[in-house]
Chain A
């Protein structure tokens, strides 16, 4: 018997066409550029490499890059030193982040924190139980090597630090989920690192988290993750209120 058509069902069988794929590639790169994962001036990998990484055809990548060029997010230069370069400057980037904060409701911003704690809070508990002294030391070195004086360096470094914490849970699923989360939402969650004061707090919180993991104190490790996420969400909500 024919099943009733529902939205969820029709989505399952929606054609996976190349048009939709180009949009997906555009969205992924746009997100990374706007949120500062890709630096202004940075050269993107060659078209063939991007196609291989995304698992799409080179034509799809070309279409996505054309779209990004139209929106002045990349420029393309020909020749031996050519390629596609990120062009978004810092002022435009901040404006784009503010647009995103405005576009999301307070409930959605708060939910970002819930999602982050669900992954990393659980991971931190397990990391505290499972990490060897060598691993705890390496985590401390990761944190110590982050330049919290510089916003871009801090954002990248904090992303790496959190991913290492999740890897120490020894859950392959949580690690993959954290990578997905950080690509999609991490930079928004850590938008607070724009403020020097927040960067200082992030470093201190990171140090307390490393200490809890080293001490094998799972409850304290989870509490530190919760506190950091709460603080980041409060900053986003405050920014939203300010931006109106």
Chain B
């Protein structure tokens, strides 16, 4: 498989989770009823996490202004056994973590109305790990009502694309739209760091369709 296809496959898994969540939450009555929304997300995520081992977790975050209260319905596959459990966001380190309205993966889709990929970053709220978070806005009655999303951890991403990336060329990288390294086969280029534009100019950069990622191969 080409590196482009390998990356596209991982992104496709996250996008598929998002599409399933969107479809299951199309009815406004469900999204704006906390008990119903939680039940639907649990059902979808249990099936999706079982079917898609590259996805660590995912779910729904409802806009507090639509519901009168914050609601995070997020399920994760924990450990090697991938036990599916609901994230206990309220119990995360005694209020040390900022509210999700100030987190990039919520704020950007909320402001732009467009899907977004955040990271790689250290996700203190959900995975406690270096993570790529894919999110998309959820519209209800034509207005923003929250985001649906899926997390892929950086170690999982590396395992999923590593072999294809190595065969793409010596020192090949996967970089994000902001020039951050999501996967690297070059020991002198560290994952998560940003590569400067003048450095990237020495690579052949090919965009992975439908994503915010590109495969960069050093020019001979």
Contacts and interface: CB of A to CB of B under 8 A. Distances in A.
B13 interface: no
Q: Of A53, A132, A156, which is in contact with the most chain B CB atoms at under 10 Å from its CB?
A: A132
B130 A172 contact: yes
Nearest to B120: A170
Interface string A145-167: 00000000000100110011001
Interface string B118-153: 001110100011100000000000000000000000
Contacts of B192: 130, 170
Contacts of B103: 138
Given A163-B124, A170-B122, A172-B130, A132 B178 contact: yes
- Mostly, the B contact residues are mixed
Interface size class, chain B:
20 to 34
Contacts of A175: 122, 124, 128
Interface of B: 91, 93-98, 102-104, 107-108, 120-122, 124, 128-130, 178, 192-194
Contacts of A53: 91
B104 A171 contact: no
Contacts of A82: none
A171 B122 contact: yes
B130 A142 contact: no
Given A53-B91, A164-B98, A134 B121 contact: no
A179 interface: yes
A130 B96 CA distance: 21
A167 B102 contact: no
Contacts of A179: 93, 96
Nearest to A162: B96
5 contacts: A38-B94, A53-B91, A130-B194, A156-B95, A160-B98
Nearest to A164: B98
A163 B97 CA distance: 8
Interface string A210-229: 00000000000000000000
Given A134-B104, A141-B102, A170-B121, 5 more contacts: A45-B91, A130-B192, A156-B96, A168-B122, A183-B93
A192 B97 CA distance: 22
B124 A170 contact: no
A159 B122 contact: no
